Structure 1
């Protein structure tokens, strides 16, 4: 196939496509899993032969219908963006894993904006601290109830009051980026996925004991099962200054560990293992309606096949303590604006952003450093 740009197509049997440059050389599909969502896509993409059994597992939300046309313009250069949320719902199996009490509500425990470059061979992943104060736009909740705009609210409240569409709308207003796709996974789904791939290995320089998350981990290298991995990505009181920023750094380490584990377990040559992983993931995710089929996930996985861990830039949105509440943060100027400007232009994260990133409080080679403290319920 000669180098040529392909025009966007509506999702169909081959999945959603974005205009990009292709080369003659075809590489084997590898797990370019920069987030749990990436792993979902990779796993589902290789399990097409089980389409009829897996397709019905996937839950979806029609984001486009709920938000209409008053949104940032979709990229036209072949780049695209995915909002990935980890829900803290306590419903069903989540309650015994998560602890705490949220009643009948759920917030976005983890939020990542994934920007895939136009050539689909690199990506930038931006973690948004859940306690970031933002202007939340007016939304329509899942039940059809109007949710009024507020000038200042925690970022994770958008999902609580207005569901997936409100979370997407808030993210688009914050970033100026069109979210082409949406992927959500809950606690039980994450833990089940880790068990399905055989666990994940992490290394820390400190003992971590967090009675809230349930994590009790000695310093050094540990291989974690699903429940332990979930506790690892949720812990904050047992390491560093207890802030959400430190927890985000642990989540980044887990993403890298997952990527390595998926690459090492031979999913693509072990049909039984592959089906176990694909069944677990498709039963645990909610996507936008364009991705709500195995064929659509297959198409997106095909587009992401050139991205591996070395082609990922993972950053946290630059933030500073909120003037009105030291337990909350706000986007830091001018770095936050520079980051979003760069991604809208399909450019790498600016050096001012990458140089000012928080330190992983459990990293093997670096000590913890002070970071703005954020407070949020488990």
Structure 2
């Protein structure tokens, strides 16, 4: 039997076929639901596409970063390293003046020159991750360079009274010797360096380009012959006088400039470099510590940067950068290791330097605040610090000679400590007063290759620190922790020495404020 379509089509099909919005049946209710489902499917598809493309793009960036990160050989690190004693981190930042790998285009000179460390500072990030202190080490500082590994696998002998920047060129390899510089800093400070970062001329210039430039202050016009005093003519204007934003080659010229500003000293240049890094950190902080901001920055940095294996992947590098996002600019300070001139070189001033390292080891800020809030209570103490030494314990002291000096106003202290040492078999070769009598902490200073012996001395003096010194021998300088019974329990450093704190710069400071240009500026 033949029927018409209207007769054969069920009512529900006829209603579904009606255009949406016509009539008052149930189709008018299902239409909006259908549109919602369709919109949801489109949104999900779009989101999925974005996620897929975004993940692919992010993955490509990560692969690109991983491919650009250069790590140095950790086999060159010392076999006698300090232990970590706080929840803080110590990061050594080295600026290399090597001309290899295209860097001569930025710094001039011989393209085959492996160079030295042009600048270096040890950044201590406190355990609370809100405070940080950067300590600059002048390149001309006289130090003892400990044994360092050569390319053939052999190790050098210690070298006393050697300029600090010479450590980077031990072995004369094209990439320098970051491990040797790290060994030198650990030996000098008694602090374990958790990470080391080396940035060359190209990396520095590209980094400043990516952030869009850094604000600096220039006290007078700077010309080409200020950058190169051997130039016969003044040359072109490189940096005009006044406050300005610099990037790329101009930024590099500013931080390397030595003879065109102030007294032409490296100390004056360090002050400008500290102001520059402060301004750079402020710019990065303002832009935001997000992966989107950090990835281009990391990409630029990794092109001409070497790091220790602990930062050798994109994940590790970005994770480390993000861990610094809560560090307050006001609580980020820059200082220089206590120093004095020794001829044309720089000598470290003691006991100020030892007190500075002790403060960092204890996570004490420049203001004396305890910033070790997140330190693990179970962290093992360094063998260089005696937290609970019992003087009645026998110490193997065979063949260890010690000079004892009283660093307090308590009379007879050196004799008392000398007797204690001799009861334990040490040989006391002399007693007397220290250079001053206001030492808060007892310090055992040791010469080349004597760290292990110095630690044995420190075991007899609760709260004592150990610190390297140029030359040979072991000197015990007694502080209040030994003069006053029970003082060890409250002997944590009050902060860095006032001689250091007075010259500190905050990363939040204006780039033109409190900026000296050397002793003559």
**What TM-score bracket applies, with the shorter chain setting the length?**
0.7 to 0.9
Q: Please report how far the alpha carbon of residue 278 of structure 1 lies from its aligned counterpart in structure 2 after TM superposition.
A: 2.7
1:337 and 2:354 are equivalent in the alignment: yes
Bigger Rg, structure 1 or 2: 2
Secondary structure, aligned partner of 1:251? helix
Deviates more, 1:119-128 or 1:194-203: 194-203
Equivalent residue number for residue 147 of structure 2: 138
Equivalent residue number for residue 72 of structure 1: 82
Question: RCO (CA 8 Å, sep 6+): is it higher in 1 or 2?
Answer: 1
1:298 and 2:324 are equivalent in the alignment: no
1:241-260 alignment, distance < 5 Å: 241-260=263-282
Q: Deviations over 1:308-365 (max 9, x none)?
A: 322201001111111xxx211110122222211211121123223122569xxx9556
Secondary structure, aligned partner of 1:165? helix
Equivalent residue number for residue 164 of structure 2: 155
Equivalent residue number for residue 502 of structure 2: 355
Equivalent residue number for residue 363 of structure 2: 346
Unpaired runs of 5+ residues, structure 2, are 1-57, 172-176, 229-236, 367-495, 506-510
Equivalent residue number for residue 52 of structure 1: 63
1:1-378 alignment, distance < 5 Å: 50-63=61-74, 65-67=75-77, 69-75=79-85, 77-101=86-110, 103-162=112-171, 163-209=177-223, 211=225, 213=227, 216-265=238-287, 268=290, 271=292, 275-322=295-342, 326-349=343-366, 350=496, 351-356=498-503, 363=512, 370=519
Equivalent residue number for residue 16 of structure 1: none
Secondary structure, aligned partner of 1:254? helix
Q: Please report how far the alpha carbon of residue 285 of structure 1 lies from its aligned counterpart in structure 2 after TM superposition.
A: 1.2
Distance 1:74 1:86, change over 3 A: same
Root-mean-square deviation over aligned CA pairs:
2.6
Aligned positions, number: 316
Task: Tell me the distance in 2 between the aligned counterparts of 1:159 and 1:370.
Answer: 28
Secondary structure, aligned partner of 1:370? coil
Task: Tell me the distance in 1 between the aligned counterparts of 2:360 and 2:294.
Answer: 34
Distance 1:133 1:102, change over 3 A: farther
The 8 Å contact of residues 210 and 237 in structure 1, kept in 2 or not, is answered as: no
Deviates more, 1:346-355 or 1:171-180: 346-355
The 8 Å contact of residues 135 and 151 in structure 1, kept in 2 or not, is answered as: yes
Where has structure 1 moved over 4 Å in runs of 4 or more? Answer: 264-269, 362-369
TM-score (norm 1): 0.76
Equivalent residue number for residue 33 of structure 1: none
Q: Deviations over 1:83-125 (max 9, x none)?
A: 1101111013210211234844221111010111111111110
The 8 Å contact of residues 93 and 122 in structure 2, kept in 1 or not, is answered as: yes
Secondary structure, aligned partner of 1:115? strand
The 8 Å contact of residues 275 and 515 in structure 2, kept in 1 or not, is answered as: no
The 8 Å contact of residues 73 and 308 in structure 2, kept in 1 or not, is answered as: yes
Unpaired runs of 5+ residues, structure 1, are 1-46, 372-378
Q: Please report how far the alpha carbon of residue 71 of structure 1 lies from its aligned counterpart in structure 2 after TM superposition.
A: 0.7
Task: Tell me the distance in 2 between the aligned counterparts of 1:369 and 1:83.
Answer: 24
